[in-house]
Structure 1
């Protein structure tokens, strides 16, 4: 099943993307279960939005060993986590806005995991029960000033820019 969030007639909806180029609307959000309304919209007449409104975005740096090796850095012994602001998630076709002073921009394709349920202290075998779906993301990693990205503050600032990851359809 391919779930999309889209704008039609000035209103945002969730829907299930069909093979025929139409989207069948879902009543409410898919996080509480999928209840199809029977209403359909043509994909050509809608604007695809970011899959989640105001998401909390977490990333894991240095998760691709070959890239870490290319840079000559040591592989971290524990995951290096970072956050991006909710305004960073933009929809398909939206403009990517680079901050002034950005000197180096790298593009990285990422697997985006959309968590659909609030949870805490889960058993490992229950973790995937909280996943709503997956989508592709394009993350732009920006070096603000040459040589400053090595510090933790510069790393966080570079990773936390708004309008930089694009999340592609569908979930």
Structure 2
């Protein structure tokens, strides 16, 4: 399933990927949870993931503190503050990470909103990622009741996602069509 989803993503026209990111940013910025958030944990998109550039810029412009992940050698996620595109540095696996001070793996627990990448999500909020478990570990640190949302393309919502005992669910999915609240 993961291979099929990645293949479909790679075939998306670049213009579609960019528009998806802009639409998702508009929808997220209109949600009460994001408007009220003092701190948002997010990520820098890569490849054919829905783009996060507009969202990150808009959050910073609104005065929201933005935390971005830093991939550790063991696959866990540390966090750093996003202060603008000039703070981003190239890291392994084609990732862009913040270059500033590291805040620790527990920093994600301080976020009012946690936005995560994924390849698909079920109607119950089970998220399929790339298989490394990094975001499942991070989501395990997030307090219950925090708005957790996966960013996807429209055709990646409502799929039957296989589950492992360590998998963590999200409460919403953002796609170009809007915000979907999950059971």
TM range (shorter): under 0.3
Q: With structure 2 as the length reference, what TM-score do the two structures score?
A: 0.23
- Between Structure 1 and Structure 2, the one with more helix by share is 2
Tell which structure's C-alpha radius of gyration is larger. 1
- Between Structure 1 and Structure 2, the one with more strand by share is 1
